[in-house]
């Protein structure tokens, strides 16, 4: 990575080294690179005092400021000798040497970086701008101003680097949640080994306070875990024997045993970390524009500065070279686009970090931008607004059939499905009978399952399945509030199983929060319409449609998008893949439950709470707001001071504020998002 250049979508090298530096710092940390190689250290650190690894202690922070502190003391004493302390010796070469000594600690590293960037083909970098501006100031004997410009630039560099590290603090803490070593049980003994080398089926011992290194099945009777690393929730989660526990969870109370069920690289936490590591690859349109803008903008202002210096010779009667050179140097200092190219990616890093702290994973800053513009949220019902945990309420079969025998057949056929309804039937009937052999098993999307058993057809699904195969039935499904699973055997209607699901505790709050943001909510479900309308009425959802096939959901979303509304779809990210692909942002609920969900969705809600949907939109809006505040601040202040500088009304001190001052204000504004509280 040390000498790689970053390229934009058109494959053109970025001109602004500061942008490249910020992104390389971010990617190093997010890829787990805690140590720099030698070339990278020389390339991106001014000297030992400018080491950009700010995850160290206070001593490192003091060390960062030492060169600037040394320059500041010399500069302040030089200004005092110039203006306030009467003496006769501080003149001529002594005065020049004094200010040169003040300049070297902060200026020499920047000059070196300017030459290195030129050697790589990136001539118009901010290092080049600062070098020619300050050396030019020395050439016209403006020594204190030359030192001050470089001093404040160096201080800005340190604060910028610290802000980048702080913006990634939440992500770094997430990366630290996966322990490298685990304790395994071998016979009567325990042994500590590398987590990456542990085989599936190995039994782990987890003491109180330890983090689980791999996904597994709890063998102990019960144990409580802190799941904050995965869900953002600090509330303990108690697991029972046989339940799944995940890497990153912290054991709270008793020594527990866990049987490993997933390889280290395939664990849920590994998938999440991979997602977070790749998040910065997807750039928001605002980011891409600013980076392209900086590449064009910087050489333009260099040539404008040259014009400011020399063109007045042909236009002004009393032209003085030193006066117009000073104006050109001020123009150069002001024109440095650092405030834009630093604070904007910082804002998006902060948004992604704020999301991860709250159990929301964004796959890129572009999705933060899109979420900020969402006007309509379309959601699935089961598993999104309801628990997705079905229970059989009653079984209504015709007396002409053997109820127990048919339930066994239905149970075996449903073992071919992963739908929550199948789980409910398994819990009600028991373990599927392995002696029953099903043939020609077929899943009919949006309808149910079909198979041959004992030479006879078996249909299990909704009543649309009965209609499809022209099975006559006497039940009126619209008069029953529960979800109904119809059964037909040997081309005859048998009856139905009534299954109920419960609404999630924060589902109503979710809809209220969406309405508070002027966002409409629509529910689309394959469940029967009477159930869907009941849930929608309970929650206050604007519109709801039931009895939908996958293609029906696609048509409904197309109709919404035809109104030029930005649409987010919330579902499981797998069964609703066509709708997820069609929507502007796909949001997956229950990221911990499905690897495929993490792969498919643009945003993953890790803890199944629908109230995180409006929170994600809120984070997107706040991020975009902060980014545009920074853009406006930088452009307005720089434009004003550029005009004043070109007209001779601004000094180098105003130029310092327009460059470093605005950069610092923009950075402080960008990191605000990390401290914001978002309601759920």
**How far, in Å, CA of 193 to CA of 179, rounded?**
11
Alpha-carbon span 121 to 111, nearest angstrom: 15
User: What region does 76 belong to: left with phi over 0, alpha with psi -120 to 50, or beta?
Assistant: alpha
DSSP 632-680: HHHHHHHHHHHHHHHTT---HHHHHIIIIIHHHHHHHHHGGGGG-----
Helix axes 365-372, 612-646, angle to 10 degrees: 100
Evaluate whether 126 touches 336 at the Cβ level (below 8 Å): yes
Backbone dihedral region for residue 417 (phi beyond 0: left; psi -120 to 50: alpha; all else: beta): beta
Confirm if 7 and 13 have CB atoms less than 8 A apart. Answer: yes
Q: What are phi and psi of 532, to 5 degrees?
A: -60, -45
What residue has token string 């000594």?
101
- The closest alpha carbon to 359, from 620, 626, 611, 165, belongs to 611
**C-alpha closest to that of 486 among 526, 521, 441, 448:** 448
Q: Judge whether 380 counts as a catalytic residue.
A: yes
* CA contacts within 13 A on the Cβ side of 289: 7
Q: Evaluate the CA torsion angle 50, 51, 57, 59 in order and state its sign.
A: negative
Find out whether 346 and 163 touch, Cβ atoms under 8 Å.
yes
Sign of the Cα torsion 513, 519, 523, 529 reads: positive
DSSP, collapsed to helix, strand or coil, labels residue 247 as coil
Q: What share of the chain is helix, strand, coil (3-state, %, to 5)?
A: 50, 15, 30
Of 519, 542, 523, the C-alpha closest to 531 is 523
Distance CA 570, CA 601 (A): 9
- Chain centroid, CA 453 distance in Å: 49
Helix/strand/coil for 208: coil
Residue 520: CA count within 13 A, CB half-sphere: 14
Q: Give dist(CA 8, CA 377) in Å, integer.
A: 32
Count of beta carbons in the 10 Å neighbourhood of residue 27: 17
Structure tokens at 229: 């690393």
Q: Which of 449, 451, 397, 380 is nearest to 421 (CA)?
A: 449
Produce one character per residue of 599-610: b if its CB has 16 or more CB atoms within 10 Å, e if not: ebbbbbbbbbbb
- Rounded CA gap, 251 and 229, in Å? 12
Instruction: Give the phi and the psi of residue 190 in degrees, each rounded to 5.
Output: -120, 150
> Quick one: which of 655, 665, 547 has its CA closest to 150?
655
Question: Which of 369, 380, 501, 527 is flagged as catalytic?
Answer: 380
Q: How many CB atoms sit inside 10 A of residue 118's CB?
A: 15
3-class secondary structure, 555: helix
Beta bridge mates, 222: 240
**Cα–Cα distance list, 128 to 122, 132, 134, 305 (Å):** 9, 6, 10, 13
Catalytic positions = 380
């Amino acid at each position: 990575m040390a000498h790689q250049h970053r390229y934009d979508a058109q494959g053109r090298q970025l001109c602004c080294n500061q942008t490249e530096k910020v992104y390389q710092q971010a990617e190093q940390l997010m890829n787990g690179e805690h140590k720099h190689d030698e070339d990278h250290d020389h390339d991106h650190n001014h000297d030992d005092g400018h080491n950009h690894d700010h995850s160290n202690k206070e001593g490192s922070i003091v060390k960062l400021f030492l060169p600037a502190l040394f320059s500041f003391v010399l500069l302040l004493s030089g200004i005092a000798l110039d203006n306030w302390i009467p003496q006769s010796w501080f003149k001529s070469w002594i005065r020049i040497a004094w200010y040169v000594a003040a300049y070297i600690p902060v200026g020499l590293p920047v000059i070196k970086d300017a030459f290195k960037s030129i050697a790589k083909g990136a001539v118009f970098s901010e290092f080049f701008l600062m070098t020619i501006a300050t050396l030019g100031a020395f050439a016209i004997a403006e020594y204190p101003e030359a030192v001050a410009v470089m001093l404040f630039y160096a201080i800005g560099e340190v604060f910028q680097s610290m802000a980048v590290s702080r913006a990634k603090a939440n992500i770094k803490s997430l990366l630290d949640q996966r322990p490298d070593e685990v304790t395994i049980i071998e016979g009567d003994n325990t042994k500590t080994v590398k987590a990456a080398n542990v085989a599936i089926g190995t039994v782990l011992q987890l003491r109180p306070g330890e983090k689980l290194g791999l996904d597994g099945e709890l063998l102990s009777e019960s144990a409580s875990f802190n799941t904050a690393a995965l869900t953002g929730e600090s509330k303990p989660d108690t697991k029972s024997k046989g339940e799944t526990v995940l890497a990153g969870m912290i054991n709270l109370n008793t020594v527990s045993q866990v049987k490993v069920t997933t390889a280290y690289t395939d664990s849920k936490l590994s998938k999440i970390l991979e997602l977070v590591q790749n998040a910065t690859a997807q750039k928001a349109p605002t980011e891409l524009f600013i980076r392209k803008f900086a590449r064009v903008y910087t050489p333009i202002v260099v040539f404008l500065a040259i014009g400011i210096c020399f063109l007045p010779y042909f236009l002004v009667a009393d032209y003085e070279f030193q006066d117009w050179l000073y104006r050109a140097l001020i123009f150069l200092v002001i024109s440095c686009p650092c405030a834009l190219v630093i604070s904007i990616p910082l804002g998006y890093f902060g948004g992604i970090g704020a999301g991860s702290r709250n159990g929301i994973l964004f796959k890129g800053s572009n999705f933060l931008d899109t979420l900020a513009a969402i006007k309509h949220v379309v959601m699935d019902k089961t598993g999104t607004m309801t628990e997705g945990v079905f229970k059989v309420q009653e079984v209504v079969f015709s007396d002409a059939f053997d109820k127990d025998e048919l339930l066994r057949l239905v149970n075996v056929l449903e073992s071919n499905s992963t739908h929550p309804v199948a789980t409910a039937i398994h819990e009600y009937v028991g373990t599927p009978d392995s002696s029953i052999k099903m043939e020609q098993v077929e899943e009919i999307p949006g309808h149910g399952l079909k198979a041959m058993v004992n030479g006879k057809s078996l249909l299990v699904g909704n009543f649309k399945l009965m209609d499809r195969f022209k099975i006559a039935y006497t039940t009126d499904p619209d008069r029953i509030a529960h979800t109904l699973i119809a059964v037909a055997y040997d081309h005859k209607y048998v009856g139905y199983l009534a299954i109920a699901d419960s609404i999630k505790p924060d589902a109503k709050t979710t809809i209220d929060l969406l309405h508070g943001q002027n966002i409409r909510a629509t529910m689309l479900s394959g469940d029967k319409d009477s159930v869907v309308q009941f849930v929608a009425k309970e929650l206050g959802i604007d519109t709801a449609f039931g009895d939908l096939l996958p293609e029906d959901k696609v048509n409904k979303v197309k109709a919404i998008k035809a109104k030029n509304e930005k649409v987010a779809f919330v579902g499981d990210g797998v069964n609703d893949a066509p709708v997820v692909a069609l929507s502007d942002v796909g949001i997956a609920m229950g990221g911990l439950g499905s690897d495929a969900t993490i792969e498919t969705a643009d945003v993953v809600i890790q803890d199944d709470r629908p109230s995180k949907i409006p929170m994600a939109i809120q984070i997107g809006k706040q991020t975009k707001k902060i980014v545009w505040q920074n853009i406006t601040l930088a452009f307005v202040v720089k434009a004003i001071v550029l005009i004043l500088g070109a007209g001779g009304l601004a000094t180098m001190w105003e130029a310092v504020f327009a460059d470093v001052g605005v950069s610092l204000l923009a950075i402080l504004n960008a990191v605000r998002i990390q401290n914001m509280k978002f309601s759920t």
